[in-house]
Amino acid sequence: MTDHKTSKEQKYDRQLRLWGDHGQEALENAHVCLINATATGTEILKNLVLPGIGAFTIVDGHKVSGEGVGNNFFLTSSSIGKNRAQAATELLQELNSDVSGNFVEESPDKLLDNDPEFFHRFSLVIGVQLPESTCLRLGSVLWDAGVTFLVCRTYGLIGYMRLIVKEHTVIESHPDNALEDLRLDQPFTELKHHIESYDLDSMAKKDHSHTPWIIVVAKYLEKWYSEHNSQLPKNYKEKEAFRQLIREGILTNENGKPEDEENFEEAIKNVNTALNPTKVPSATEDIFNAEQCENITSQSPSFWVMAQGVRDFVRNEGNGKLPVRGTIPDMIADSDKFIKLQNVYRDKAMKDAAVVSKHVEALLQSVGKPPESISEQKIKLFCKNAAFLRVVHCRSLAEEYSMDTFNKDEITSCMDSEMVLYLMLHSVDRFYQQHSRYPGVYNYQVEEDINNLKLCVNSLLQEYSLNVNVKDDYIHEFCRYGAAEPHTVAAFLGGSAAQEAIKIITHQFVPFNNTFLYNAMSQTSATFQL
Amino acid sequence: MEIIFPTMAQLVGPLRKELADSLSSCRVLVVGAGGIGCELLKNLVLTGFKNIEVIDLDTIDVSNLNRQFLFQKKHVGKSKAQVAKESVLRFCPSANITAYHDSIMNPDYNVEFFRNFQLVMNALDNRAARNHVNRMCLAADIPLIESGTAGYLGQVTVIKKGQTECYECQPKPTQKTFPGCTIRNTPSEPIHCIVWAKYLFNQLFGEEDADQEVSPDTADPEVAWNPADAAARATASNKDGDIKRVSTKEWARSTGYDPVKLFNKLFKDDIMYLLTMDKLWKKRKAPLPLDWTEIHQLESSQEEAFGSGLKDQQVLGVQGYAQLFHRSVKTLRSQLIEKGEGAELVWDKDDPPAMDFVTAAANLRMNVFSMNMKSRFDVKSMAGNIIPAIATTNAVIAGLIVLEALKTLNSDFDQCRTIFLNKQPNPRKKLLVPCALDPPNPNCFVCASKPEVTVKLNVHKTIVQALQDKILKEKLGMVAPDVQIEDGKGTILISSEEGETEANNNKFLSDFGIRNGSRLQADDFLQDYTLLVNLIHSEELEKDVEFEVVGDAPDKAPAPNVPEEGKNIANGNKDSAQPSTSSKAAAEDDDVLIVDSDEEPSSSTMETSPESSNRKRKHHDADTDDAASKRKRLDQQPADDDEDIIALD
In this predicted structure, the answer to whether residue B224 has a pLDDT above a threshold of 80 is no
- Residue A96 reports pLDDT greater than 70: yes
Strands A31-35 and A55-59: parallel
Partner-chain contact B10 A484, CB within 8 Å: yes
How confident is the model over B551-571, as pLDDT tens digits? Answer: 764 433 333 332 333 222 222
pLDDT reported for residue A211: 93
Partner residue facing A70 (CB), from B5, B69, B350: B5
**Contact at CB, A527 and B431, closer than 8 angstroms:** yes
Could you tell me which of A392, A504, A503, A398 has the C-alpha nearest to residue A167? A392
Q: How confident is the model at residue B12 (pLDDT cuts 50, 70, 90)?
A: very low
The answer to the question of whether B416 is labelled as a binding residue is: no
pLDDT of residue B221: 56
- Of A201-215, B490-504, B571-585, the one with minimum mean pLDDT is B571-585
Average pLDDT of every residue of chain B: 77
B181 labelled catalytic? yes
Q: How far apart are CA B387 and CA A391, in angstroms?
A: 30
| Least Cα separation, residue A367 to chain B (angstroms) | 30
What are the pLDDT digits (tens) for A440-473? 888 778 889 999 999 999 999 999 999 999 999 9
Name the CATH superfamily, with its identifier, for domain B180-225+246-298+309-384: Ubiquitin activating enzymes (Uba3). Chain: B, domain 2 (1.10.10.520)
**Residues on chain B touching A50 (C-beta within 8 angstroms):** 65-67, 69, 391
Residue A175 and residue B634: Cβ atoms within 8 Å? yes
User: Picking from A300-314, A508-522, B291-305, which range would have the lowest pLDDT averaged per residue?
Assistant: B291-305
- Which of these, A131, A133, A169, A168, lies nearest to A149 by C-alpha position? A168
B69 in A contact zone (CB under 8 Å)? yes
Spatial CA neighbour of B587 closest among B104, B150, B152: B104
Crossing angle for the helix pair A472-481 and A446-463, nearest 10 degrees?
A: 120
Contact of B511 with chain A, judged by CB distance below 8 Å, is answered with no
Out of A51, A336, A524, whose CB is closest to B390?
A: A51
Share of chain A above pLDDT 70, in %: 99
Residue B457: pLDDT above 70? yes
Q: Which pLDDT does position B300 carry in this prediction?
A: 53
pLDDT category, B356, cuts 50, 70, 90?
very high
Task: For residue A330, give how far its alpha carbon lies from the nearest alpha carbon of chain B (Å).
Answer: 6
pLDDT of residue B605: 32
Which chain A residue shows the shortest CA-CA distance from B309?
A: A21
Question: Distance (Å, rounded) from C-alpha A49 to C-alpha A505?
Answer: 13
pLDDT category, B16, cuts 50, 70, 90?
A: low
- Which residue did the predictor score with more confidence, A266 or B426? A266
In which band, very low, low, confident or very high, does the pLDDT at B24 lie, cut at 50, 70 and 90?
confident
- Cα-to-chain-centroid distance, residue A324: 24
pLDDT for the residue B595: 29
> A156 vs B62: CB contact, 8 Å cut-off?
no
| 3-state DSSP helix/strand/coil % of chain B, to nearest 5 | 45, 15, 45
How much of chain A exceeds pLDDT 90, in percent? 80
Give the pLDDT of residue B555: 39
CA nearest A50 in B: which residue?
A: B66
Put simply, the answer to whether B90 touches A76 (Cβ < 8 Å) is yes
Chain B closest-CA separation from residue A287 CA (Å): 21
Of the listed ranges A296-310, A492-506, B306-320, B494-508, the one predicted with least confidence:
B306-320
- For residue B15, with 0-12 CB atoms within 10 Å meaning exposed, 13-18 middle and 19 or more buried, which class applies? middle
Task: State yes or no: B336 annotated in a binding site.
Answer: no
User: Quick check: A155 pLDDT over 80?
Assistant: yes
CB A13 within 8 A of CB A6: no
pLDDT digits (tens, 9 = 90+) for B134-171: 999 999 999 999 999 988 889 999 999 999 999 999 87
Cβ contact, residue pair A70, B46, below 8 Å: yes
Query: Which of the following CATH numbers is that of domain A7-166+485-528: 3.40.50.720, 1.20.1250.20, 1.10.260.40, 3.30.470.20?
Result: 3.40.50.720
- What average pLDDT does range A482-498 have in this prediction? 94
Residues on chain B touching A339 (C-beta within 8 angstroms): 372
The helix/strand/coil state of A262 is helix
**Residue B343: how many CA atoms within 13 Å on its side-chain side?**
12
Domain B452-550 is of which CATH architecture? Roll (3.10)
Strand order in the sheet with B481-485: B492-494, B481-485, B519-524, B529-537, B452-457, B547-549
Q: What is the rounded CA–CA span in Å between residue B496 and residue B507?
A: 17
- pLDDT of B310: 66
Out of B6, B10, B399, name the one closest to residue A492 (CB): B399
Distance separating alpha carbons of residues B400 and B534, to the nearest angstrom: 40
Shortest Cα distance, chain A CAs vs residue B312, angstroms? 10
Q: Where are the domains of chain B?
A: 17-173+389-435, 180-225+246-298+309-384, 452-550
Average pLDDT over every residue of A86-101: 95
B609 pLDDT band (50/70/90 cuts)? very low
pLDDT at B596 over 70: no
The CATH T-level fold of domain B17-173+389-435 is: Rossmann fold (3.40.50)
- Cut 0.95: pTM above it: no
The confidence score (pLDDT) of residue B45 equals 92
Interface of B with A in 332-371 (CB under 8 A): 350, 367, 370-371
Looking at CA atoms only, how far is residue A368 from chain B in angstroms? 30
d(CA B234, CA B223): 15
Helix (H, G, I), strand (E, B) or coil at B417: strand
Interchain CB distance below 8 Å, A516 and B308: no
Q: Which range has the top average pLDDT, A227-236, A348-357, B371-380, B428-437?
A: A348-357
Helix, strand or coil, per DSSP, at residue B148: strand
Q: Under an 8 A CB cutoff, do A70 and B62 touch? A: no
Which residues is A128 bridged to in the sheet?
A152
Instruction: Please determine, for residue A519, whether its predicted confidence score (pLDDT) is greater than 90.
Output: yes
- Which residue from B63, B372, B393 is facing A11, i.e. has the nearest CB? B63
Describe the crossing of helices A213-227 and A236-247 by its angle, rounded to 10 degrees.
110
Within an 8 Å CB–CB cutoff, is residue B94 touching chain A? no
- pLDDT exceeds cutoff 50 at B7: no
8 Å CB contact between B292 and B260: yes
Residue A436 — pLDDT band, cuts 50, 70, 90? very high
Higher pLDDT: B346 or A164? It is: A164
- What is the model's pLDDT at position B550? 84
pLDDT at A123 over 50: yes
Inter-helix orientation angle A302-315/A335-366, to 10°? 110
Is pLDDT above 90 for B385? no
Tens of pLDDT, residues B621-637: 333 333 333 333 333 33
pLDDT tens for each residue of B80-92: 999 999 999 988 8
Instruction: Say whether pLDDT at B324 is over 80.
Output: yes
pLDDT band at B639 (very low <50, low <70, confident <90, very high): very low
- CATH 3.40.50.720 range(s) for chain A read 7-166+485-528
Interface test mutation site (partner B, options A8, A17, A266, A518, max chain B beta carbons within 10 A): A17
Residue A417 has pLDDT above 90, yes or no: no
- The CA-atom distances, in angstroms, between B646 and each of B5, B388, B534 are 42, 7, 39
- pLDDT greater than 70 at residue B49: yes
Pick from A181, A518, A204: nearest CA to A352: A181
User: Can you tell me the distance from the alpha carbon of B585 to that of B557, in angstroms, rounded to the nearest whole number?
Assistant: 23
